[in-house]
Amino acid sequence: NYEIVDTLYLGKEIPNYTGSRKYGYGFYNISRDLEAIDKFQKFLLKYPYPLVAHNFRFDRGFLVHYKWIPENYPFYCSIDALKHSRIRFSSYSLNNLVKQLNIASNTTHTAMDDILNLYKILKKLRPHVWRPVNR
């Protein structure tokens, strides 16, 4: 029903980092961090919902490769769902969508901001065709 039931933030900022924080810069790599993986998996057990990602090939590939989720965990692609919605866009990039839908002037490309922007897009458009992408 497009409501946030809980949040989990696992980012670990590098102290005194002064550069751009886009695309993971300024954060420690947690891909093999057992504590972060455990917290994530416990979160999924608490809320056993499918995962949705805007660039599912990257996100799902990462999560499966580093064993954050099993290969068969239910996963959906928001780009695919949006392409089957009633509104057409020239580009389905997150940056374009937030601008076109007046959600934000641009994206910061930090994990949590991307998730919140995607949530706002999905809540606004409410796509109704969702296909699992477990491949």
pLDDT score of 55 more than 90: no
97/91 Cα distance (integer angstroms): 8
The confidence score (pLDDT) of residue 127 equals 94
The confidence score (pLDDT) of residue 135 equals 62
pLDDT score of 92 more than 70: yes
135/133 Cα distance (integer angstroms): 6
pLDDT score of 11 more than 80: yes
pLDDT band at 42 (very low <50, low <70, confident <90, very high): very high
101 CA to centre of own chain: 18
Q: Which helix (H) or strand (E) holds 56?
A: helix 56-65
74-93 average pLDDT score: 93
The confidence score (pLDDT) of residue 50 equals 94
- 59 versus 24: the higher-pLDDT residue is 59
The confidence score (pLDDT) of residue 58 equals 86
The confidence score (pLDDT) of residue 111 equals 83
- 111 versus 29: the higher-pLDDT residue is 29
The confidence score (pLDDT) of residue 38 equals 98
40/80 Cα distance (integer angstroms): 25
9-21 average pLDDT score: 90
The confidence score (pLDDT) of residue 110 equals 80
- Cβ atoms of residues 19 and 25 within 8 Å: yes
pTM, full prediction: 0.87
